[in-house]
Amino acid sequence: MRDVTIYEVGPRDGLQNESAIVPLDAKVEFVQRLVAAGLPVVEATSFVHPTWVPQLADAAELIERLGADPDSARPPGGHPVLVPNERGLDRALELGCQHIAIFGSATESFAQRNLNRSLDEQFAMFEPTVNRARAAGLDVRAYVSMCFGDPWEGDVPIAQVVEVGKRLFDLGASQLSLGDTIGVGTAGHVGDLLTAFNDAGLPDDVLAVHFHDTYGQALANAYAAWQHGVRTFDASAGGLGGCPYAESATGNLATEDLVWMFRGLGVETGVDLEALVATSLWMAGVLGRPSPSRVVTALG
């Protein structure tokens, strides 16, 4: 019974930004503990080339381990994985993944740095990946990054974000996640962007939001999105994460902080907050540093 869906990205978006390599056993336990705490969706990893993100070089082994244990807690349909291109999709298909995500950019600068493609070329790269995934019966999520600001270009026009997001969604995605990659968004900006997507034909039920907390605005932005009508929120246990291609990006919105806010609003998340806090404290021990989550600090 949930009023909102929290899309947990800690094992992928959180751990990909760590300087140290987290052991495979710890990653397996992390995902399993998150699912056991009631997170309905836990994005497990990314099939990106290890040269670019060595922290996730064990992606195939992780998926195999998660699927091999018949007693392992996992959501129906398995865990989503990020695939950058058709090679990544090949690995996802080989391992029986049923949910994938692609990761596009709303700006030229980040498309070049993250994808080695121009803003327009990214669609040609993603189209065959999405077509093949859909033909194989997979569900596809589309991320669009730099929706609120870009470290090289500054402010990003709302019309540009909507055009890019709609083109990514129209490739065949079931959901579009709007990312404040460097954490510069504010509540008013969130409302304006969501309204613009609605006006472009994308209703709230196909939109998700993904906030970073660089300026301490992630929770306020999530509240603004909830008030607007969005019901899917990306978050990272313990506030882990950043972006390996954008140095100004700090941690994601902490899942615990989001759950605490919704609890106060009487909004059901289905998440056991105490179990989640315990999981983030455990992962903080694995990483050897405290969690930046305010709720983890307060309850831990």
Distance CA 138, CA 97 (A): 8
Using the structure block, give the residue that is written with the tokens 């929120």: 233
Give the residues across from 207 on adjacent strands. 176
Strand 207-211 and strand 175-180: the pairing is parallel
Q: State the DSSP code for 205.
A: G
| Cα 278 to chain centroid, rounded | 21
* Tokens linked to 166: 């709609």
Question: What torsion, rounded to 10 degrees, do the Cα atoms 244, 245, 247, 250 define?
Answer: -50
- Specify the amino acid at residue 158: I
Both ends of the chain: CA-CA distance in Å?
Answer: 26
Those residues whose C-beta lies under 8 Å from the C-beta of residue 22, and which sit 6 or more positions away, are: 15, 30, 55, 286, 287
* Tokens linked to 147: 């929706």
* Helix (H) or strand (E) segment spanning residue 46: strand 45-46
Nearest residue to 249 (alpha-carbon basis) of 153, 179, 192, 164: 179
Could you say which of 156, 243, 271, 273 is catalytic?
243
76 burial type by CB count under 10 A (0-12 exposed, 13-18 middle, 19+ buried): exposed
Those residues whose C-beta lies under 8 Å from the C-beta of residue 232, and which sit 6 or more positions away, are: 4, 5, 7, 175, 177, 207, 208, 209
Judge whether 158 and 150 are in contact, CB under 8 Å: no
Q: Is 97 a catalytic residue?
A: no
Active site members: 243
